Structures are given as structure tokens and as C-alpha cells.
Chains A and B, each alone.
Chain A
């Protein structure tokens, strides 16, 4: 069965410091991995995805994530956090052997960047 874990409910970081939001996954086949951000009362905004190819994926707003197959992880990173990055972040996975194309979401991590 597919699953996604975001072990941290909240991550606090000072503006200008690097940030990491953790995500691990479990699938039967090969994973398609996604990160989304959600601001209050808004839908999901796509940040980046890993489908195949280079393990380091660069996305919107300076975010990047590294696919690590041995550790089944896809942590989200940014070298220098901004106060405006404060939001709710979701990791999601799709199993390439699942013909339903369902996305499984993690529980979400709230990022708080203090000035």
C-alpha cells in the first residue's frame, strides 16, 4: 500500500537560514513524488515534482528536493528562507503501478519563518 509520512507537524526557521521539510514514502512500484504549498483558504500550489531522471529537482520560488531511493525520502529544501514562505506544505506520492492514478498525501507540515 502507498503511504507518505511527514514527521514534523511544524518547522520553525529564522529568515535567511536554510530550511528542510521532511518526507518519506512507501510504494510498491516506482514513485512519482510531488510537493505542494497551501496558503490559508487557498487551494494547492504546485512546487516541484520527481518523475524520473536527476535526483535533485528544482522547483518554484527557489525550492528544491532530492529524491533518495535508498532512504525512500524526498525532503524539501531551500537555501535561504523568506517570511513569505510561511505556509502549509504537503508531500504526495503516486505509485506507477497503481492504475487509478491516485495521489496519496502526507499529513502536512506547517512552516513558520520568523523575521
Chain B
């Protein structure tokens, strides 16, 4: 089946620094990837839709200047949390859409971000 990877799996950073998270589709091309955020014991909240070669579409309430998304190739999307603060600490999960499989989303293993 389709495989999506995320890197890093866990990151700890100081307040004020920027952190980049990578999402890769390993065995298929993904024109669309999605970024989710999950707080403890809560559901997944869609942050943005990442489209290859164009600007990301952000959900209401998500700061696009805070969460920079780049989808430079058909297999890679990156999420950069800029000037991170402790309230940005969360579990970030990406997914990639496989147009050859009913446009199903395949999920990465997630990245745990802790901002000190």
C-alpha cells in the first residue's frame, strides 16, 4: 500500500526558533497533501491543504505566516513552524492524496513538536 513518511518524528526546540517538518509520499505521487494538528486526547484538526506548485490553502483561524507550507515536488511537502512558542507544541500529522486510489489519503506517522 501507499506509504507516507514524516521527518523528524520528534523535535524539541527553544521558543523563538523555527522548525521544519517534512512529509514524503514514498511510492506514489501526490499533487495534494494535507497538514493536521492534534492536541492531546483530541481529534485531528485540518490546518491546510498543500498543492504541488501552488500556494497552500489554509483553514480558517490558521496563520499562514506562522505555518509556512511548501509543496515543491510531487513527493514532498514541508511545514515550517516559524518563531515557535510553547502553545505551538502539538502532534503534527500529514497525509497525501493518491489520485489512483479513489483519492484516498494516506497518513504519515506524525511529528511530536515540543517548544520549551
Contact = CB atoms under 8 A, between A and B. Distances in A.
Interface of A: 32, 34, 36, 41-44, 46, 49, 51, 90, 94, 100-103, 105-108
B110 A42 contact: yes
Interface in B32-61: 32, 34, 42-44, 46, 49, 57
Main secondary structure of the interface of B (DSSP, over half): strand
Interface of B: 6, 32, 34, 42-44, 46, 49, 57, 91, 93, 95, 97, 102-110, 112
30 contacts: A32-B102, A32-B104, A36-B107, A41-B91, A41-B112, A43-B6, A43-B93, A43-B107, A43-B109, A43-B110, A44-B44, A44-B93, A44-B107, A46-B106, A46-B107, A49-B104, A51-B102, A90-B43, A90-B44, A94-B103, A100-B49, A101-B97, A101-B103, A102-B49, A103-B46, A103-B95, A103-B105, A105-B43, A105-B44, A107-B42
